[in-house]
Amino acid sequence: MINFNVPPFTGKEFDYMREAVENQKICGDGPFTKKCSEWIEEKTGTAKCLLTTSCTHATELAALLAQIKEGDEVILPSYTFVSTADAFVLRGATAVFVDIRPDTMNIDEKLIEDAITERTKAIVPVHYAGVGCEMDTIMDIAKRHGLMVVEDAAQGIMASYKGKPLGTMGDFGCFSFHETKNFSMGEGGALLIRDERYIEKAEIYREKGTDRSKYFRGQVDKYRWQDYGSSYLPSDMNAAYLYAQLELADEITQARMDRWNEYRELLTPLAEEGRIELPCIPGECEHNAHMFYIKTKDMEERSRLIDFLKKKEILSVFHYVPLHSAPAGIRYGRFHGEDRHTTKESERLLRLPLFYKLTADQTEYIADQVKAFYRQ
Ligand SMILES: *Cc1c(COP(=O)(O)O)cnc(C)c1O
């Protein structure tokens, strides 16, 4: 059976986790957490990276830092993971969903401005499949209306828009290191902070409302309760697992990119015949091969293809059920404008297996079986 995902593992993880145990530092903000944050800061050029227990928690931190309150509104796509909305809903905000672009599955930047009201506080673009949103337009809208931008870059590490790393253009950027992402620590994430003025507050929110981060750096002689907050820092053992992969980030990305390009090449004939559609990568975007998807004619054809592939020992999966049609989405959100693409495109999209150790032979076998389905 070819699984849809196999969590990334390079071989060094056990050595580093053992080292974390031998360091006698398995709580948060130990040596491996520092290594991971510094690696991300250097790689992305962001002012500050704080490792978190998940991308969900990174987004919650961003919502706290953006001072999101009861009655505020945030603008985001409906085609996304629950956390993009939930982190803001938890603070009392209403999720205002706008339609996506069918080419990239990202928020349609041309529809954002019309959804802005006097209650709007933030725009939350999601870089689906590690392909950047139209950030110049989004940042321009935010600037003109005085809104914050929180990038859900859960899938976006190592990818860029006009040469700028995803997660570094908005006020805050959020990465995920869940086991389904390009690099993983089991559960984990990171908050990227562009403006240094937010760093101190972010450290306090992340450390149960205390200035323990300052204390650890020797900047204060005791730490105290300073503000509200929660516990958003991961164990150094998890960071040790992640660091093994960050060290090999280029190699992991290249392996994924090779498989991604093979899929595209092998499936192009089917796309040219109009049987399926392939992902679109706009010229401004450099992606990270996070995901390879195809689009079938409709949901019915997709279900038949999933069953067909399962019989050939291949696990393929669809993705988000649009948030605005989910029970909590109805309660805590509203769709602004017309749902022209969100539901329709979400029902056609199918993700094929893609992970670090997937082989070229397996990729070819999978592509052959997709072709066999359409040729039967
Ligand atoms: C994976 C993912 C998340 C959530 O990440 P966690 O680390 O599991 O909290 C949020 N948004 C998007 C777009 C994701 O793909």
User: Among 82, 92, 64, which residue's Cα sits nearest to residue 230?
Assistant: 64
Q: Do 58 and 177 belong to one domain? A: yes
> What is the value of pTM for the model shown?
0.98
The helix/strand/coil state of 302 is helix
The torsion angles phi and psi of 138, rounded to 5 degrees, stand at: -65, -45
- 130, 155 contact by CB (below 8 A): yes
pLDDT at residue number 82 = 98
CB 87 near ligand 1, within 6 Å: no
Q: What is the mean pLDDT of the chain?
A: 98
Are 210 and 287 within one domain? no
Ligand 1 atom with minimal separation from the 83 CA? 10
Atom of ligand 1 nearest to the CA of 128: 13
The reply to whether 5 falls in a domain is no
Of 195, 212, 246, the position where a domain reaches its end is 246
The percent of residues in the chain predicted with pLDDT above 90, rounded, is: 100
pLDDT at residue 207, as a whole number: 98
- Which two three-digit tokens encode residue 206? 């992340």
Q: Is residue 6 part of a domain?
A: no
CB of 158 closer than 6 angstroms to any ligand 1 atom = no
Whether residue 220 is found in the same domain as residue 74:
yes
CB atoms within 10 A of CB 308: 17
DSSP structural state of residue 65: H
Q: Report if residue 274 sits inside a domain.
A: yes
How far is the CA of 197 from the CAs of 59, 71, 121, 193, 201, in angstroms? Answer: 18, 26, 19, 9, 8
Report the interhelical angle of 236-247 vs 249-272 (nearest 10°). Answer: 70
Domain boundary (231, 246, 261) is at: 246
- Show the tokens assigned to 74: 């945030």
Residues 236 and 264 both lie in one domain: no
Least confident of 14-18, 21-25, 172-176, 331-335: 21-25
CATH of the domain at 132: 3.40.640.10
In a shared domain, residues 224 and 96: yes
Judge if the beta carbon of residue 81 lies within 6 A of ligand 1. Answer: yes
pLDDT (0 to 100) of residue 103:
98
Residue-level pLDDT at 224: 96
The tens digit of pLDDT for each residue in 270-290 reads 999 999 999 999 999 999 999
Residue 343 CA to residue 139 CA, distance in Å, equals 26
Whether residue 267 is found in the same domain as residue 333? yes
Report if residue 8 sits inside a domain: no
Task: Give the phi and the psi of residue 130 in degrees, each rounded to 5.
Answer: 75, 20
Give one DSSP letter per residue of 70-101, joined into a string: TT-EEEEESSS-HHHHHHHHTTTPEEEEEPBP
What distance in Å separates the CA atoms of residue 50 and residue 191, rounded to the nearest whole number?
Answer: 5
Verify whether ligand 1 is closer than 6 Å to residue 184 (CB atom). Answer: no
pLDDT digits (tens, 9 = 90+) for 114-144: 999 999 999 999 999 999 999 999 999 999 9
Q: HSE on the CB side for 1, CA within 13 Å?
A: 8
Residue 348 DSSP SS3:
coil
Distance from the alpha carbon of residue 56 to the mean position of ligand 1, in angstroms: 6
User: Distance (Å, rounded) from C-alpha 31 to C-alpha 236?
Assistant: 7
The boundaries of the domain holding residue 203 are 13-246
Cβ-in-10-Å burial (0-12, 13-18, 19+) of 359 comes to: exposed
Residue 29 alpha carbon to ligand 1 centre in Å: 22
Q: Are residues 165 and 259 in the same domain?
A: no
Q: Which residue has the tokens 């076998």?
A: 365
Residue 317 pairs in a beta bridge with 351
Tally the domains of the chain: 2
Distance from C-alpha of 101 to C-alpha of 342, rounded to nearest angstrom: 8
Residue (of 279, 358, 357, 376) closest to 319 by Cα position: 279
H helix or E strand, kind and range, residue 162: none
Q: Does 117 reside within a domain?
A: yes
* Residue 2 domain-assigned (yes or no): no
Q: Do 180 and 271 lie in a common domain?
A: no
Atom of ligand 1 nearest to the CA of 54: 7
> Do both 258 and 233 map to the same domain?
no
User: Are 36 and 176 within one domain?
Assistant: yes
pLDDT in tens, 58-87: 999 999 999 999 999 999 999 999 999 999
- Rounded to an integer, the average pLDDT of 364-374 is 98
Among 5, 52, 55, the mutation site with the greatest number of ligand 1 atoms within 8 A of its Cβ is 55
Residue 285 domain-assigned (yes or no): yes
Domain end marker among 205, 222, 246: 246
107 φ/ψ sector (left φ>0, alpha ψ -120 to 50, else beta): beta
| 176, 299: one domain | no
Residues 6+ apart with CB under 8 A from 367: 262, 263, 266, 267
pLDDT (tens digit per residue) in 293-343: 999 999 999 999 999 999 999 999 999 999 999 999 999 999 999 999 999
Ligand 1 pocket, 175 CB below 6 A?
no
Q: Is 52 in the pocket of ligand 1 (CB under 6 A)?
A: no
Is 280 in the same domain as 239? no
Rounded to 5 degrees, what angle do the CA atoms 315, 323, 185 make? 55
> How many DSSP H helices and E strands does the chain contain?
13, 13
Q: Please give the average per-residue pLDDT across 246-261, as a whole number.
A: 98
Strand 189-193 relative to strand 285-286: parallel, antiparallel, unpaired?
unpaired
Q: What is the CATH number of the domain that holds 327?
A: 3.90.1150.10
| Per-residue confidence (pLDDT) for residue 25, from 0 to 100 | 87
Residue 42 lies in a domain: yes
Location of structure tokens 């209650």 = 119
